[in-house]
Amino acid sequence: MKHVTIAIVTGASSGMGREFVKLLDKEPVTLDEIWVIARRGERLKELAKEVHTKLVPIEADLSGSEASAVLGYMLKEKKPSVKFLINCAGFGKIGKINNLPLIDQLSMVKVNCLALTEMTGLVLPYMAKKSRIINLASAASFLPQPGFAVYAATKSYVLSFSRALNQELAHTNIRVTAVCPGPVKTEFFNLAEQTGTVPAYKKLVMADPVKVVKKAYRDSIAGKNISVYSGTMKAFHVLAKLIPHELILKFF
């Protein structure tokens, strides 16, 4: 019995996830199907009309247990060979901790950390050598961010988790890449600004999601453990390593 070769993309209904699906559809990789996971099923149906590769939609909310239950069942049933796992699902809310609803804070942790970890654990047994895991982190992972504290902390988790997993899987040649862009022009900030305002300096360095995704894909194929888009964010990454965080935080 021939196993189908697939990619799995979470958060595929918009933003970076959607762009990754469109990129995989064009790349010369042999994929029989792309399994796409998101809350908005109608968006997934629209996306299916834009690509040639067969999309298998999984309409589920990653903050709950439904997505993992459905995905787990499908993996056991079809036993696919997973070429790519791309964890793009995630969100952020701007605001100080004592002003943000607790349910929003916990949801960020559930989607950005717990769901990503669960997806990875479920899918890994179905990944062959030379497969790739791409986890969407953020330049916010480089240091604490007052006013964006929970989101930045969750992305620090994603970065640390990805780098450690990359080392653990080195003998299998499965590479894990943490994608750490700065602000990207997606719907992300529509939700983030429901509870606060994006600083002007972040709006000035907003990146094109198509370009960010292309670089992330190239870095993943090259086996890099981190993908940082733009010279500005690369400089920020270096500064966050060299300058004590206590000093940087005085400017927030």
The residue ranking higher by pLDDT, 63 or 5, is 5
What is the total count of domains within the chain?
Answer: 1
CATH code at 115?
Answer: 3.40.50.720
Range of the domain at 126: 5-249
For residue 198, pLDDT beyond 70: no
The residue ranking higher by pLDDT, 29 or 230, is 230
For residue 251, name the pLDDT band (cuts at 50, 70, 90).
confident
Q: What is the DSSP letter of 208?
A: P
Please, what is the Cα angle at 55 between 54 and 61, to 5 degrees? 170
Chain centre distance of CA 33: 20
What is the per-residue pLDDT across 8-17, written as a single tens digit (0 to 9) for each? 999 999 999 9
Please, what is the Cα angle at 130 between 125 and 134, to 5 degrees? 75
For residue 203, pLDDT beyond 80: no
